[in-house]
Amino acid sequence: MLRLFVMVLLGMTFLKSANAEEANYPAVEPILKTSATILDQPLVYPMTGAAEVTAVIVTLKPGEKTSSHLHEVPLFGYVLQGELTVYYEHHGTKLYKTGDALMEAEDIWHIGENTGEVPMRILAVFMGAKGAKNSVTKE
């Protein structure tokens, strides 16, 4: 009986501890709400074909760069780790760090580079359509 009582007390203590930790996190934490890209372009969804969402995690080693590319569909990005500098053709440079959220530029050539000292990881969510290219690279 004493053993059962001790187990119940320990269980209640654990539950209180877990609930206290959970209370530190909001139920919903907004990270981005926008109707424009990072370069102030209005968001435009592809109007042809069935909707298709593609989510990927892109990883770049320190010093590594992407090829020159553009996106034909809206792209939501969230930097999971590290630092990313993006060079936008005719639009300057933007720096993104862990925890930054963005709607990427559409139809603008750009190159991303990990300018930090750790691997850069970004969640990229393309909001496209079947048959539409998420990314196009320069030949």
In whole angstroms, what is the distance from residue 51 CA to residue 70 CA? 20
Closest C-alpha among 82, 135, 81 to residue 110? 135
User: Amino acid letter at 65?
Assistant: K
Which tens digits make up the pLDDT trace of 52-99? 999 999 999 999 999 999 999 999 999 999 999 999 999 999 999 999
* DSSP letter string, the chain: -HHHHHHHHHHHHHHHHHHHHHTTS-SS------SB-TTSPBP----SS-EEEEEEEEEE-TT-BPPSEE-SS-EEEEEEESEEEEEETTTEEEEEETT-EEE--SS--EEEE--SSS-EEEEEEEEEETT--S-EE--
What is the predicted pLDDT for the residue at 138? 87
Beta-strand relationship, 92-97 and 101-103: unpaired
The half-sphere exposure of 96 on its side-chain side, counting CA atoms within 13 A, is 23
What is the predicted pLDDT for the residue at 2? 44
The domain limits of the chain are 51-137
Residue with tokens 């996190």: 25
51-137 CATH fold: Jelly Rolls (2.60.120)
Which tens digits make up the pLDDT trace of 7-61? 444 555 555 555 545 668 888 888 999 999 999 999 887 667 889 999 999 999 9
Residue with tokens 């209370």: 23
Structure tokens at 42: 């209005």
Judge if pTM exceeds 0.85: no
The more confident residue out of 95 and 3 is: 95
